[in-house]
């Protein structure tokens, strides 16, 4: 790695540009889950910008008027529940610069060739746990810039975080208000009845694994070819998500070689906003957590020995069952809490960042070259679906799901989609 050092200006707290309501706001059941109490780190790389730090900072201040809870702090209520104190304390914001071009650093493609601490703002853990958003805008000598963002999952899911960032971009481009009007409406998100055991269980005990990062670009031609073959053989439609999720899950199951009978699980978040159309305003704007955790469990041999199309069908069936699963959960499904999934080496979590809205962000100088989460967790095997850096077409997968001695087998399995 060549020498790389960012010059960071003194951090500031960006408050709303106008007076905003005070008081405390309750978070929803989904917001308060222990699994949501962390900061999501991501970078958003843009090819050109004129004084982007100043422009984004000013737009952020205006966006925090309709998004005033984001300028507050996470707090605990008298009942011991997580809530938002609307304090107007502001978003932690850092402007930075570096005497290098994006090209010198491979346009900061993932996995990063530089420490992520250079591109993200950091505070002490005691302070960070209460902050909702932190941002750093780093300008490069070529005119490009990077927005490093740390956002609380207790405030946003992926769609909500992207909606907030797009609001900043709308104002940066000269709009008086964001194109999408934000709504709080956390009270509309149902809580399951108390008969479910341990509604807010403590986080599970986690075991660290030395996962290695593997990046793979897949062309749209390969994906479309698989779609066509699936339709011809089964008479059904499958999506890009179905194909890639099935392929990664099966490839990993074969690579890790669990004993027959051992469970392998696939987990992914399904947007449930459409299931609550009678509870949430029809024009959208809800930016809280509204994702239902879908989990598929099967004996390892069922996944390793089946055809790819059979695994795709498992995923399609799970997606089609979202409505019924969600309805059962709302009335207290006796089979258990879907938010409590055993976390062991047999679990793979798949996330789709390609459609949440980050790629449509434009501060006035064009959409990002690429976007990516800076996920280096060593506890849960993961795969993230991204768009490849512009102007490439297709999809990009970033996996952290196998250890070094299993990587070769995993790569071999991923080499062919069918």
Q: Which residues are identified as catalytic?
A: 153, 362
Dihedral over alpha carbons 59, 65, 66, 70 (to 10 degrees)? 90
Closest CA to 169 of 15, 68, 49: 49
Structure-token match 């960071």, residue found: 8
Helix axes 220-234, 308-320, angle to 10 degrees: 80
CB neighbour burial string for 20-32, b if at least 16 within 10 angstroms, e if fewer? beeeebebbbbbb
What whole-number distance in Å separates Cα of residue 280 and Cα of residue 96?
39
In the three-class reduction of DSSP (H, G, I as helix; E, B as strand; rest coil), residue 172 is classed as helix
Write the DSSP symbol of residue 38: S
Closest CA to 213 of 349, 351, 374: 374
First vs last C-alpha separation in the chain = 37
Write the DSSP symbol of residue 169: H
CB-CB neighbours of 318 under 10 Å:
18
């Amino acid at each position: 790695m060549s020498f790389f050092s960012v010059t960071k200006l003194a951090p500031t707290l960006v408050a709303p540009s106008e007076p905003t309501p005070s008081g405390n706001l309750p978070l929803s059941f989904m917001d308060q889950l222990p699994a949501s109490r962390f900061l999501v780190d991501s970078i958003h790389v843009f090819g050109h910008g004129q004084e982007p730090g100043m422009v984004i900072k000013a737009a952020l201040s205006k966006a925090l008027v309709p998004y005033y809870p984001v300028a507050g702090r996470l707090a605990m209520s008298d009942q011991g529940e997580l809530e938002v104190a609307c304090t107007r304390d502001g978003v932690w914001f850092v402007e930075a610069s570096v005497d290098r071009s994006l090209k010198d650093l491979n346009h900061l493609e993932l996995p990063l060739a530089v420490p992520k601490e250079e591109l993200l703002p950091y505070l002490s853990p005691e302070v960070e746990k209460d902050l909702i958003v932190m941002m750093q805008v780093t300008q490069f000598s070529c005119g490009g810039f990077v927005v490093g963002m740390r956002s609380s999952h207790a405030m946003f899911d992926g769609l909500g975080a992207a909606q907030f960032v797009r609001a900043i971009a709308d104002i940066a481009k000269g709009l008086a208000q964001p194109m999408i009007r934000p709504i709080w409406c956390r009270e509309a998100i149902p809580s399951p009845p108390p008969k479910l055991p341990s509604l807010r269980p403590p986080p599970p005990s986690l075991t660290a694994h030395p996962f290695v990062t593997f990046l793979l670009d897949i062309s749209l031609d390969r994906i479309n070819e698989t779609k066509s073959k699936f339709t011809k053989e089964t008479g059904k439609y499958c999506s890009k998500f179905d194909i890639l999720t099935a392929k990664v899950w099966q490839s990993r199951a074969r690579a890790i070689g669990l004993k027959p009978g051992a469970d392998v699980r696939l987990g992914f978040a399904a947007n449930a906003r459409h299931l609550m159309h009678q509870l949430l305003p029809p024009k959208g704007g809800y930016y809280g957590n509204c994702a239902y955790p879908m989990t598929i469990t099967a004996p390892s041999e069922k996944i390793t020995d089946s055809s790819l199309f059979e695994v795709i069908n498992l995923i399609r069936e799970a997606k089609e069952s979202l409505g019924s699963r969600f309805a059962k959960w709302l009335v207290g499904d006796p089979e258990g809490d879907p938010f409590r999934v055993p976390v062991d080496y047999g679990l793979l979590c798949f996330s789709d960042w390609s459609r949440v809205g980050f790629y449509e962000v434009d501060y006035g100088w064009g959409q990002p070259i690429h976007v990516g989460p800076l996920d280096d967790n060593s506890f849960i095997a993961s795969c993230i679906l991204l768009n490849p850096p512009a102007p490439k077409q297709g999809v990009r997968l970033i996996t952290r799901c196998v250890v070094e001695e299993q990587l070769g087998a995993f790569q071999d399995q991923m080499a062919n989609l069918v």
